[in-house]
Chain A
């Protein structure tokens, strides 16, 4: 059994290049494990794009995360300056140096105090580096920026030959090297064409400003002998160092959960096949201004927290306190969930940084907070920092990531006017699993909210319009009234209800009147019957009288006849 496992395992490793993990968040995923072990990697880019930081993080993470000592050969900044510069990122270079995990060698080259005459080589540098590596048993080295040699020395021919020798020598030393190079005016990646010498792995950093918003990007230009992501990936430098985001999932092989989560509104759950949303699905709530999108989203967030799950709420319009205050007006207490640590708000202005940067920031927060539900309110504001296409691509990647992590996500989107084409809510509607639209229904001199389920993948859902009512008791869905004039909402619906009530009363009234008439008729009839009865009795009496008389006459006559007979016989 174990044997089989081993052979199976060995095969994919057959031609795999040994890699050194950089420890830079995201970069190792991107390169399939890190940069080539024991070989030099070139990090190039313009001034201020984060090359030095890249190098320092490589060394520091190597020391702290992988227990590999590293040497930092600085050609630009002194050791103390470097230490100060990165202390804000929580990198304690002094401590690492004391622990023998780091050695910083500052190579100072000042052309003004150097004279060149005749042949020379860079053995001095080799010896210094070699000594630094050997003194702490380093596995990693960063040369930042070796191009300074070119500024300090005039004999280019010697320099180039020596650089070639240096990189070869570093390979034989078995250290993984990271060399930084600055982009110059020319067509090359670096001012001195360092890419010529470092051919194993080249990473280009970029810092672009579009519409006054800067975004840092990274691209692996070359990685000999390894697969790597070829796209431009955004990265961010913040208080924790660098995070790169390998954003687009290459495959659509996400797990699909059959578990359902309640929307927080039983009446809405009923519309969604009686159970609510799928866990790990994406929900879009779109609507015009003031249709209650935030209330809707808050309701979902509150429901999540009520069940004891975590919810991360990205607010792009309102501050957390504003939302919490506003929601208390509809009897929703979000503060208690915030206090419990179940609900976390993250409010930022969309224009704070570029889309990509937003994405990286969100990514990072989500990874840290590990929520089961994420709310974005609203995504429309992101449009201000990017084109529709950019926003869509960003959201695609975001949804990809969230679905991968089985996080249910709710977006709200503002439709600018009611005539807007319903198919293009930031183009996101095709990406989401459930699309709920809240629309103003203007009728009878008032505005009311109508809620539709535009789509909901994989579940039977109601095709009915519901009225979305927000009261100081909370939010709820009410059946709309379908009258002869169409859908009635709001006070029209109430009016219709009253009308119905009146009709009922009238109807009842009408019924009683009819009952009474019937009674009367019955009485008349009954009296008539009594009359007839007495009439009949009279007639009967009369008839009986004749009959009795006849009987009497008969009787008397018979008596008389018998009397007469008696007398004749003379008894």
Chain B
């Protein structure tokens, strides 16, 4: 399970760590995708890493909670843990200025 959403100008590189296809992981991924489409359309990459498949990757990004979203680019690295259900918190956490809806 390794999904890549590529665009030409990846301003945001995001990694979502999950452990198997759990409800929480699915929710997190769905939420994340929704926020990105809404606010970062065309300038993001989401990499989903399943630690059950690649446990050795957990150490590198200091993952201990599942699910964890890591913003690799731009620096500094930011982490958001949980199912990302709170949009505002996610946006603040990723330091994304929301697109103002009229």
Q: Which A residues lie at the B interface, using CB under 8 A? A: 105, 107-109, 113-125, 127-128, 130-131, 149, 153
Q: Is the CB of B83 within 8 A of A119?
A: yes
Q: Is the CB of A153 within 8 A of B55?
A: no
Q: Is the CB of B62 within 8 A of A108?
A: yes
User: How far is the CB of B62 from the nearest CB of chain A, in Å?
Assistant: 5
Q: Which residues of A contact B79 (CB under 8 A)?
A: 113-115
Q: Is the CB of B55 within 8 A of A121?
A: no
Known contacts A127-B19, A131-B55, A131-B56; decide if A115 and B93 are in contact (CB<8 Å).
Answer: yes
Q: Which residues of B contact A128 (CB under 8 A)?
A: 55, 58-59, 63-64
Q: Is the CB of A117 within 8 A of B84?
A: yes
Complex CA distance for A153 and B82, rounded to whole angstroms: 11
Q: Is the CB of A127 within 8 A of B55?
A: yes
24 interchain pairs (CB within 8 A)? A107-B64, A108-B62, A114-B79, A115-B81, A115-B90, A116-B81, A116-B89, A117-B85, A117-B93, A118-B85, A119-B82, A120-B24, A120-B67, A120-B81, A121-B65, A122-B65, A123-B51, A123-B65, A124-B19, A127-B19, A127-B52, A127-B55, A128-B63, A131-B58
User: How far is the CB of A490 from the nearest CB of chain B, in Å?
Assistant: 82
User: How far is the CB of B73 from the nearest CB of chain A, in Å?
Assistant: 15
Complex CA distance for A117 and B24, rounded to whole angstroms: 12
Complex CA distance for A122 and B58, rounded to whole angstroms: 12
User: How far is the CB of A343 from the nearest CB of chain B, in Å?
Assistant: 55
Q: Is the CB of A115 within 8 A of B80?
A: yes
Top 8 A-B pairs, shortest CB-CB distance: A115-B93, A118-B85, A131-B55, A118-B83, A118-B82, A123-B66, A125-B64, A124-B63
- Any chain A CB within 8 A of the CB of B92? yes
Q: Which residues of A contact B68 (CB under 8 A)?
A: 120, 124
> Using a Cβ–Cβ cut-off of 8 Å, how many residues does chain B contribute to the interface with A?
33
Q: Which residues of A contact B76 (CB under 8 A)?
A: 113
Chain A, residue nearest B90 (CB) = A117
User: How far is the CB of B25 from the nearest CB of chain A, in Å?
Assistant: 9
Chain B, residue nearest A75 (CB) = B64
Q: Which residues of B contact A124 (CB under 8 A)?
A: 17, 19, 51, 58, 63-66, 68
Q: Is the CB of B64 within 8 A of A121?
A: no
Complex CA distance for A115 and B67, rounded to whole angstroms: 12
- Any chain A CB within 8 A of the CB of B8? no
Chain A contact residues: helix, strand, loop or mixed = mixed
Q: Is the CB of B19 within 8 A of A115?
A: no
Q: Which residues of A contact B77 (CB under 8 A)?
A: 113
Complex CA distance for A131 and B58, rounded to whole angstroms: 9
Identify B62's interface contact among A107, A122, A130, A153, CB under 8 A.
Answer: A107
Chain B, residue nearest A114 (CB) = B79
Identify A105's interface contact among B17, B27, B59, B67, CB under 8 A.
Answer: B59
- Which among B52, B59, B65 has the highest number of chain A CB atoms within 10 Å? B65
Complex CA distance for A123 and B49, rounded to whole angstroms: 13
- Any chain A CB within 8 A of the CB of B78? yes
Complex CA distance for A122 and B78, rounded to whole angstroms: 18
- Any chain A CB within 8 A of the CB of B2? no
User: How far is the CB of B4 from the nearest CB of chain A, in Å?
Assistant: 21
Q: Is the CB of B78 within 8 A of A117?
A: no
Known contacts A125-B64, A128-B63; decide if A119 and B24 are in contact (CB<8 Å).
Answer: yes
- Any chain A CB within 8 A of the CB of B86? yes
Q: Which residues of A contact B56 (CB under 8 A)?
A: 131
Q: Which residues of B contact A121 (CB under 8 A)?
A: 24, 65-66
User: How far is the CB of B86 from the nearest CB of chain A, in Å?
Assistant: 4
Q: Which residues of A contact B59 (CB under 8 A)?
A: 105, 128
Q: Is the CB of A118 within 8 A of B58?
A: no
Q: Is the CB of A118 within 8 A of B64?
A: no
Task: List 7 additional A-B contacts (Cβ < 8 Å) besides A115-B79, A117-B90, A117-B93.
Answer: A117-B80, A120-B68, A123-B51, A123-B66, A124-B19, A128-B64, A149-B64
Complex CA distance for A127 and B66, rounded to whole angstroms: 10
Complex CA distance for A109 and B17, rounded to whole angstroms: 16
Chain A, residue nearest B55 (CB) = A131
Q: Is the CB of B58 within 8 A of A153?
A: no
Q: Is the CB of B64 within 8 A of A115?
A: no
Q: Which residues of A contact B27 (CB under 8 A)?
A: 118-119
- Which among A114, A122, A124, A153 has the highest number of chain B CB atoms within 10 Å? A124
Complex CA distance for A241 and B52, rounded to whole angstroms: 38
Q: Is the CB of A114 within 8 A of B63?
A: no
Q: Which residues of A contact B24 (CB under 8 A)?
A: 119-121
Known contacts A117-B86, A119-B24, A120-B67; decide if A127 and B58 are in contact (CB<8 Å).
Answer: yes
